[in-house]
Amino acid sequence: MSRVKEFFASRTGIISVGLFIGVLAALLQKWGNPGNMGICVACFERDITGALGMHRAAVVQYLRPEILGFVLGALISAYVFKEFRPRAGSAPIVRFILGMIAMIGALVFLGCPWRALLRLGGGDGNAIFGLLGLAAGIGVGALFFKAGYNLGRTQKAYPSVGWLFPLVILGLLALRLLYPQIPDQDKSGILFYSLKGPGAMHAPLAVSLIAGLAIGMAAQRSRFCTMGAFRDLFLFRQTHLLSGLIALLVAAFVANLALGQFKPGFAGQPVAHTMQLWNFLGMAVAGLAFALAGGCPGRQLFMAGEGDGDAAVFALGMIIGAAVSHNFGLASSPQGIGPHGVAAVLISLIVLVFIGLTMRQKA
């Protein structure tokens, strides 16, 4: 057991996990997930929001089993390795707002950091601007940290506090099993299912769920985090997490080449737009929000599986952020940014700077 722990904490461990996620993501696309979206935490949470009818964008409604697998896989791994630590109470309302803003920014770019890497690994040049924005946003976050930004201590909590979010996830899984997709129907029981668009593209339920569980376990062990990759580089000159991120990118690129999914270019890329300023700024907003909240969307799900109630609040914030994004025209589409995307980015930036500047310990 301790040797497994050591392996995942090592550089070889984090690189292996990056390679694993990169290859699996390319395969999930092969098995049915949308283009350059084998995995996307933001997009998939948005699809879940749609499946529950909390937004009615008909092309992005599907209860993605991968997300459920992430949380449950991390939960299983945390129990197996005795790392389940129920905790909560570090500025939950701030984390909720940060989750909302993270989702709003990610949906202006059209993807979370994982998908930004997968997009680049699939040949989508627009992702370069998103990744630059992500790095810029996290860089600003690092400056806030240097200036004393801190959300405060979390508190130990009852086990049930740590269990509530995984229980919600189990409830969603029950809904997915109870109301499976009916061919050519956009609704099954209370769940919405897309008939066209990215929401209609998905790998089989069992495949998605098992892949999600496997990634959840591996990522819980290795602490894989795309935000941490840049943050640790900027703050500490450490490249541990960054090596995992690069491994994911390289693996996705090679796997896409092998599977015939690599299509270099800027125009006409799947679920992407070419408004580069907004690709950059959308991801800068998301990156800063991730940095201030202490984890990328994937990492927040894994921490929620470990019993972190604050990470769970962030994830719920992302769900509401997705609803807001699609109900109020903030989210982009392949045609470009939404009617209120510009306002959303600017207001988000102001809120983030407010949080970054005001939540700090005086030395």
Partner 1 sequence: MSEQIDARGLSCPQPVLLTMEKLKTLNQEELVVLVDTDTSRENVSRAAASLGWQVKEVQSEGEEYRITLQKS
CB nearer partner 1, residue 83 or residue 186: 83
Per DSSP, 202 falls in state -
User: Per CB under 8 A, does 9 bind partner 1?
Assistant: yes
CB nearer partner 1, residue 77 or residue 348: 77
Quick one: which of 55, 87, 176, 326 contacts partner 1 (CB under 8 A)? 87
CB nearer partner 1, residue 85 or residue 187: 85
Q: To the nearest whole angstrom, how small is the minimum distance from the Cβ of residue 83 to partner 1? A: 5
Query: Residue 328: CB partners within 8 Å, gap ≥ 6?
Result: 340, 344
Side chain identity at residue 120, one-letter code: L
Q: Where are the alpha helices (DSSP H) in the chain?
A: 2-9, 11-30, 41-51, 65-80, 92-109, 113-121, 126-146, 159-178, 205-222, 226-236, 240-259, 276-293, 297-305, 309-327, 341-358
Q: To the nearest whole angstrom, how small is the minimum distance from the Cβ of residue 238 to partner 1? A: 6
Q: To the nearest whole angstrom, how small is the minimum distance from the Cβ of residue 154 to partner 1? A: 5
Helix (H, G, I), strand (E, B) or coil at 204: coil
User: Per CB under 8 A, does 168 bind partner 1?
Assistant: no
Q: Which of residues 198-257 bind partner 1 (CB under 8 A)?
A: 223, 228, 231-232, 235-238, 240
User: Per CB under 8 A, does 83 bind partner 1?
Assistant: yes
Q: To the nearest whole angstrom, how small is the minimum distance from the Cβ of residue 357 to partner 1? A: 17
- Say how many residues touch partner 1, by CB under 8 A: 26
Q: Which of residues 169-208 bind partner 1 (CB under 8 A)?
A: none
Q: To the nearest whole angstrom, how small is the minimum distance from the Cβ of residue 240 to partner 1? A: 6
d(CA 194, CA 187): 8
Query: Residue 352: CB partners within 8 Å, gap ≥ 6?
Result: 98, 101, 285, 288, 289, 292
User: Per CB under 8 A, does 295 bind partner 1?
Assistant: yes
Binding-site string for partner 1 from residue 138 to residue 167, where x marks contact by CB under 8 A and - marks none: -------x----xx-xxxx-----------
User: Per CB under 8 A, does 77 bind partner 1?
Assistant: no
Q: To the nearest whole angstrom, how small is the minimum distance from the Cβ of residue 72 to partner 1? A: 19
Print burial letters for 125-144: b (CB count within 10 Å at least 16), e (below 16). bbbbbbbbbbbbbbbbbbeb
By CB neighbour count within 10 A (0-12 exposed, 13-18 middle, 19+ buried), where does 259 fall? Answer: middle
Q: Are strands 191-192 and 155-156 parallel, antiparallel or unpaired?
A: unpaired
Q: To the nearest whole angstrom, how small is the minimum distance from the Cβ of residue 311 to partner 1? A: 9
CB nearer partner 1, residue 145 or residue 179: 145
d(CA 62, CA 50): 7
Confirm if 137 and 349 have CB atoms less than 8 A apart.
Answer: no
Q: To the nearest whole angstrom, how small is the minimum distance from the Cβ of residue 146 to partner 1? A: 8
CB nearer partner 1, residue 10 or residue 185: 10
d(CA 38, CA 31): 9
Binding-site string for partner 1 from residue 310 to residue 349, where x marks contact by CB under 8 A and - marks none: x---------------------------------------
- Point out which residues bind partner 1 (CB under 8 A): 5, 9, 81, 83, 85, 87, 90, 145, 150-151, 153-156, 223, 228, 231-232, 235-238, 240, 294-295, 310
